[in-house]
Amino acid sequence: MKELHDRILKDGQSFDGGILKVDSFINHQMDPVLMHSIALEFVKRFSDLGINKIVTIEASGIAPAIMVGLEWGLPVVFIKKAKPKTMGDMYTAQVYSYTKDRTYDVCVSKNYLGKNDRVLFIDDFLANGNAALGAKDLIGQADATLVGMGFIIEKSFQEGATRLEKSGTRVESLVRIQTLKDNYIEFL
């Protein structure tokens, strides 16, 4: 997606250790026009799959997922990273966060995912794939059908896409980054 590619080069910051900072337009402050373009691209790529529900994980996946849901007129469910006191019957899984270097429980209410759902998962980044695999686990516990996963940015030098594809998951990333170093970004 050229618009996203160009924006990353213009406003993104890269650091040694494979870190890409896009918080000025994706995951802290958001550019709604760019988010709309991102949603339209996901809709185009996944339009043939009979999706009836969008799923994401807190927090940075919420904005693009809502935009996709808006385009299709579909509900958006977000997986919570902490169990709310108000949530009763739920599916749970454990996810390791590379960024925070800890394992945490994620959950989603059984009221919002079920066997009749054809689910598209949307998130901001795909790196090692831990959050995505946790989401896949929850969707499977619900006997829902995961039809695909869409990511705004894929760090292709990490194993996430390979892990998901080996598990039979269709993966679509709007941009794929091969190398991230201090002030250097190389796309695939």
Tell me the pLDDT tens digit for each residue of 33-76.
Answer: 999 999 999 999 999 999 999 999 988 899 999 999 999 999 99
- The number of distinct structural domains making up the chain is 1
CATH code of the domain covering residue 73: 3.40.50.2020
Residue-wise DSSP of 29-66? S--HHHHHHHHHHHHHHHTTS---EEEEETTTTHHHHH
* Per-residue pLDDT at 78: 92
Is the pLDDT score of 84 beyond 90?
A: no
Mean pLDDT of 78-93: 87
Mean pLDDT of the chain: 94
Question: 96: domain range?
Answer: 2-187
Is the pLDDT score of 100 beyond 80?
A: no
